[in-house]
Chains A and B, each alone.
Chain A
Amino acid sequence: MRKVKKAATPYLFLAPTIILMVVLLVIPICMIFQYSFLNNAIVEKSPEIVGFKNYSKILGDKDFWNAVRNTIFFVLVSVAAHMGLGMGFAMLLNSSYFTRKTKTIARVIYVLPWMFTASVIAILWKLMLQPQGIVDYLLAFVHLATKDTQWLSERSVALYTITFVNIWCGYPFYMISLLAGLQGISSDLYECSALDGAASGQQFLHITVPQLKPIIISISMLDFVWSIQSFAVIWMMTGGGPAKKTETLSIFIYKLAFNSSKYALASAASVIVLIICIIAAVFYVRQQKKARD
């Protein structure tokens, strides 16, 4: 009896977590797979199984491929720019040129964009980017914009604009993680290489990057997944428009489900996105394990 009790103890501690995860994670994921094979879900009282019809419909939909293209651009540019900015800012904050106090103040300012909720970010940038707004005013000095550039409603620039806003609000996560990594690199490594006459560019490539590699890989995997999921800022800034130019996969799925009530089609599209994210996650977990060992 006592033995049974002892074996059960960890599960008792885990019970609330397991129940929550089963009801709100495992079951919903099963449901979405099920929905994706029905003719319609939720609104349909007695749905029929239609096999892979939803998938072939989604894969033949040019709006889906438009969303895929937009998402690929959005994700790749965001991840690359986050990495570049995050690394640059982290190195500034780690440099020996400034006093501790300056660095502390700079760190607080640099991390600011991470503190704001998506709707604040969306509204703030909408205000700044509106025709005759502050961005036009400042960019007019360097002749990069006119008094009424349509940053969000001009088809050719809207996607760049929302990507820029996503870059602005996402880099602090990289910066903080990389800064922690930089501070963990032993200064001996730099001193040795300096004695060997290595230039700072070489030091960056041969010491900094290899030392930070585990962090770089794990944060870019996380960011990759986060960027694919990105919904709120885009939804509030453009709603996917103009003419679907900023419609990413999340927006595409949301509209299909909650604007057109095509839940089964939306489920099929969700499953496709889920599979992409799971592949990224498997890679991520493997990386974590490698880093731990």
Chain B
Amino acid sequence: MVGSHKKSTKVIVSILLVLGGLFAGFPVLWMFISSLKSNTEIFAWPPKFIDIHFNLNNYSAVLGDSEKVRFFINSYAISGLVVLFTLFIGIMAAYAFSRFDFPFKETINTVIVSVQAIPPIVLLIPYMSLIVTLKIFNTYFALLLTYMVFTLPYCILMMTGYFNTISTNLDEAVMIDGGSRWRACWGILVPISIPGIISVGMYTFMQAWNEYLFALTLTKTNDMRTVPVGINLLMGQHTYDWGQMMAMSCLGSLPVLVLFIFFQKYFIAGMSSGAIKG
């Protein structure tokens, strides 16, 4: 009796598992299939699942268009720069929070935590005039600096937590040997913290790669656009060439997916501790 009850539970749970997989995975699969179809096949009714003339024309069209390739170059450059600067500045700040007690520590910390609650749209209006005043409108700098407002807090909080788990004896040993705080931070703590740095770096990359609102508003010319804005531009230009848009979407999602597959463990650790530690 108990056995058959357990068995039927297992069947129900298995069905739920598969349904969940379809809910999450089918749209993604459909995007990939569509990227291999021609535009006429995409509009076919009933929709075609298997009997498709699979071809890579959409991909070659996207990769052969220098304007679209430029979107990718911009996205890689900006996201890479954001990761580098966020880690550099964030690690320094995290070191200060972890190793020192100083006036206004709590205040500064509160400001940093609360950034998560500030809607980007609120900052966008002042940014319009600020970025123009600083003469960096429609440049990488405009996006680099504004993205860092949102990537730094996570980096600082995560890295402070990480550094707190490392004994201060290590710093003291460096300083007894005549080394500086700077060396203790970069020479000792950073090498030990590589796993933490990887997960923070990936999360930062993802935030920068996916950002849309600032990229839309703070850049103007097509040669400065990033992938998320570029994909959306295609919609207007080609009057719904779905095949190409899907190919570009797949290509645009690739970096984050590849990072995710290789560093799944770090990624998931980063995501869950983000919610627990703030």
The interface of chain A, by Cβ under 8 A from chain B, is 7, 9-11, 13-14, 16-18, 20-21, 23-29, 31-32, 35, 41-42, 88-89, 92, 95, 97-98, 102, 106-113, 115-120, 122-125, 127-128, 132-134, 137, 147, 168, 172-173, 176-177, 179-181, 214-215, 218-219, 222, 225, 228-229, 231-232, 236, 250, 253-254, 257-258, 263, 266-267, 270-271, 273-274, 277-278, 280-281, 284-285, 288, 291
Contacts and interface: CB of A to CB of B under 8 A. Distances in A.
A218 B114 CA distance: 13
A229 B9 contact: no
Interface stretch (B53-61, B62-70, B124-132, B191-199): B124-132
In order of increasing CB-CB distance, the 8 nearest A-B pairs are A281-B117, A180-B272, A28-B126, A13-B96, A10-B100, A31-B126, A117-B210, A232-B212
B232 A115 contact: no
Interface in B257-278: 257, 260-261, 264, 268, 271-278
B253 interface: yes
Contact of B231 (A120, A181, A278): A120
Question: For the side of the interface on B, what is the size category?
Answer: 35 or more
Contacts of B217: 258
Contact of A177 (B126, B261, B275): B275
B278 A288 contact: yes
B1 interface: no
Contact of B125 (A32, A113, A125, A285): A32
Interface in B16-40: 16-17, 20-21, 23-25, 27-28, 30-31, 34
Contacts of A172: 24
B93 A13 contact: yes
Given A117-B228, A176-B268, 18 more contacts: A10-B105, A13-B100, A14-B96, A20-B145, A24-B146, A41-B125, A110-B20, A110-B24, A115-B257, A116-B256, A120-B228, A120-B252, A127-B30, A127-B245, A128-B27, A176-B271, A273-B119, A277-B117
B123 interface: yes
For A27, A123, A177, the residue with the greatest tally of chain B CB atoms inside 10 Å of its CB is A123
Nearest to A105: B21
B13 interface: yes
